[in-house]
Structure 1
């Protein structure tokens, strides 16, 4: 299985929990390391490095701080699953380790959660880890997963009540106008800008109250005129520039951009600046697409 592939049971996709964008990236990076074709136990420790967070869009200057703070918060996080009419609460992780000298942390998932994130053969959802790299809203990542779950259909209706429960909003954003602005609009804007999906939605009312959101979505069109493609400048987010700059610097095609014995870190910084320049960005576009960038 592709190491960039996230696989989750649908129960986890629809579970009730709250994780920040950084916490979700840590969990997703660790899930990518779980073998999907063999039995595993809760004895396994899955490493997540600063470099992996940078590839997922966390800024290089704050990546290690975000990694340490995120894993400390994650240790106390729980998830509420509904299984056969039973509500079950479990922890995401049972142990964390810090390897400061290597810029790496280790996650040992809790035993109860493992069946829902490993060795899945039915009722699961999968997507590429790079799909959510530019999304810095925790709500955005969750809503993206809820939509990808229905990718073959292209539509999904969710009640406002269930969305609030899945996102564990509690008393947060009690007015629908605030919920719409802070949760739905923020998520949809980021999904449309950074993910492979193009999303729109409509509100459905019961009486005078908005009770349901109907999302409709499709993959972004890939049929772009070649000449227009050559002239087009893509305004990448800081998260995308960090992720793709760190990947592009390791391609042999761009080794000539380095002077002398420059390190990968120096070359990556140079390429990140070039990605912000309309004239210099063009040379990277074909390679960006090979790395998963969707225009």
Structure 2
């Protein structure tokens, strides 16, 4: 087993952390276009798009990607990764393009765009220069309306072209459902249609570039619907099912049903939650003892410094007792592996990812975060050994 230097491991963790924060923003016309490419160029395109700041578009349509990011995104660790990277770049430039169809008052207009015509890299440093086509840029930066945002980390987990295409299209619809649910402006049935979008088989075949493939519907549904939707449900923030709509004896269209996964229930994740105790509430004396230990813990101070705990939280005995019982022992494990500095870095990272829901369920958020992070650290140490 090869030994991975400590600096390399740290960079890889930082790279994965950075990738998990990235968003991909694209015009809806690009999402509904025909992606004439397989999964690797499509994923590489999504990774490059995640580097674009739409408020400050890149100069000369150029972004700079780290090889470390690229290898982490594709989960490539073998010695052949550089040659595989070169092959993927060549394939993307020689074979990959988007076919965009726009409806106008006079009929349909068709565009065929090679999205990334120029890539430059060297074997002696980490930077990869990627230049987008000036023809693709309007679909990536002029996003005042009709655009979709989705998580790059969701795309990273998908292993088939059809799963990526469907995920982007489902995100486009669900984003509209969330927008109009919050802002209004649509009738109730219209809003629900975004959460339960319908697409004809013909449109679906065009979008997935399968007009001349999988002629039998059983093969088509397995390759383009069943397997990809299982991937999406397992690896992304969506749960998706579908039903077939017949017209006569033939399948005419597909209705998808999208629900967003809930990370947690609506109650605060405190000591008396069922995940924290074995069905019974601790006696008050034990709870008070845990509270006193939590008040004296250096981790409480760190959480306050990172604004993950508020003074109101310090008044809640159940939050403090829950932290002392279920979270701080895990921080002790991380401290043994990475020192107190490692705990600080972890807290700084999850602070940046915190949203309104996690603020209401702070103990649950902290516990889940460290439970997800510890196995990564332990695997890195095993690799190093």
Higher-Rg member (1/2): 2
1:79 corresponding residue in structure 2: 98
Whichever structure has more strand as a proportion of its residues is: 1
CA separation of 1:63 and 1:155: change in aligned 2, threshold 3 A? farther
1:160 corresponding residue in structure 2: 201
Which blocks of at least 5 consecutive residues in structure 2 are unaligned? 1-19, 178-193, 279-330, 340-365, 374-385
Asked whether the equivalents of residues 63 and 130 of structure 2 are also in contact (C-alpha less than 8 Å), the reply is yes
2:29 corresponding residue in structure 1: 11
Match of 2:111, SS state, is: strand
Alignment of structure 1 residues 115-134 onto 2, 5 Å: 115-134=138-157
2:164 corresponding residue in structure 1: 141
Whichever structure has more helix as a proportion of its residues is: 2
Q: Name which structure has the greater RCO, CA cutoff 8 Å, separation 6+.
A: 1
2:337 corresponding residue in structure 1: 257
Alignment of structure 1 residues 32-181 onto 2, 5 Å: 32-40=50-58, 43-61=60-78, 63-76=81-94, 77-83=96-102, 84=104, 85-151=108-174, 152=177, 153-181=194-222
TM-score, normalised to structure 1, is 0.74
Match of 2:135, SS state, is: helix
Deviates more, 1:22-31 or 1:181-190: 22-31
The 2-side partners of 1:215 and 1:64 are apart by: 39
Picking from 369, 372, 375, the partner of 1:286 is: 369
TM-score, normalised to structure 2, is 0.57
Asked whether the equivalents of residues 26 and 67 of structure 1 are also in contact (C-alpha less than 8 Å), the reply is no
Match of 2:173, SS state, is: coil
The 1-side partners of 2:44 and 2:368 are apart by: 28
C-alpha root-mean-square deviation of aligned residues, in Å? 2.9
Count of aligned residue pairs for this structure pair: 245
Q: Which runs of 4+ in 1 moved over 6 A?
A: none
CA separation of 1:227 and 1:21: change in aligned 2, threshold 3 A? farther
